[in-house]
Amino acid sequence: MEILRAKTAGFCFGVRRAVDTVYQQVEKSREPVYTFGPIIHNEQVVADLEARGVQVVERAEELEKLSGGTVIIRSHGVPKSVCDKIHACGLKCVDATCPFVKKIHRIAERESQKGRHVVIIGNDGHPEVEGIKGWCSGPVTVLGTAREAEEFAPKEGTTLCIVSQTTFNYNKFKDLVEILEKKRYDSIVLNTICSATEERQAEAREIAAQVDTMIVIGGSHSSNTRKLYEICKQECENTYHIQTSVDLDKKPFQCIGRVGITAGASTPNNIIEEVQKHVRVEF
């Protein structure tokens, strides 16, 4: 059987770096290790880390109750106030914010200090967006739809700095920027979209078009996995979404001919490997 496994399947660079950081800290730290929020949205990884003693801190207020240890910041990043609080509580801070997100923090901080109104094209409430907001010292607005962009009307003379959430759709970003540019504010636009998601989707599409069976691995609640599934299904009717290799035995598989495998952004490598092995042995 021929298996085509996507090179971009699973963790992107930033998530891999953050997960590796936690495992390294567990190895070398004698004090408790915490992550600020779950390090990734993958039950198996979070459970494995929990078994190694890693605890998840959900809110900034909880930091005050900790009596020492290391707090790791995940790839999404956090507002500046959280970093400050970790230090103020006498805890060690290990920042695993993805460097692409960190770059946006620096831009937001710098341009905000210069007096620009920061506009984040993204989904309000998303942890990454909340983090970026928290590096602005002046006005900041999140715009996620054309309507919001049209209604955005800061007072005349306002200067803008427009950035985007790393996972935002490029075409949507372009449309919103166009709307804002018509308003003729003095603005600088920085396309801070990360290409990892797009590359993963493009490769999945390409592989799905060449195979007889396509397997998409990822959490049932993972929106990027669902998106991958939809893309693959368009190219290959025989596409399946599974969470782990266990699901391979449950589903009515028609595993025939060439098989393609891809995985969502929070699927660890060992799960992808297990699926690959299982397909080779069982089908």
203 is catalytic: no
Cβ proximity to ligand F3S: between 18 and 86 the closer is 18
The secondary element (H helix, E strand) that includes residue 70 is: strand 70-73
- Tell me which stretch binds ligand F3S (CB under 6 A): 9-17, 84-92, 137-145, 212-220: 9-17
Cβ proximity to ligand F3S: between 100 and 240 the closer is 100
Cβ proximity to ligand F3S: between 100 and 229 the closer is 100
**If you search the block for the tokens 């929106």, which residue do you land on?**
223
Which one of 128, 150, 151, 156 is the catalytic residue? 128
Record the tokens describing residue 25, joined without a space. Answer: 């800290």
Site string for ligand F3S, 174-213 (x = CB under 6 A): --------------------x-xx----------------
Record the tokens describing residue 153, joined without a space. Answer: 């009307």
Side chain identity at residue 39, one-letter code: I
Confirm or reject binding of residue 170 to ligand F3S (CB under 6 A): no
The strand pairing partners of 95, in sequence order, are 73
Residues 148 and 142: their CA atoms lie apart, in Å, by: 9
Query: Is 112 marked as a binding-site residue?
Result: no
Q: Which residues, in sequence order, are CB contacts of 267 under 8 Å at separation 6+? A: 9, 10, 11, 42, 217, 218, 219, 225
Residue in 269, 222, 220 with CA at minimum distance from that of residue 45: 269
Positions marked catalytic: 128
Residues near ligand F3S (CB under 6 A) are 12-15, 75, 98, 100-101, 166-167, 194, 196-197
Positions at the binding site: 12, 41, 76, 98, 126, 166, 194, 222-224, 266
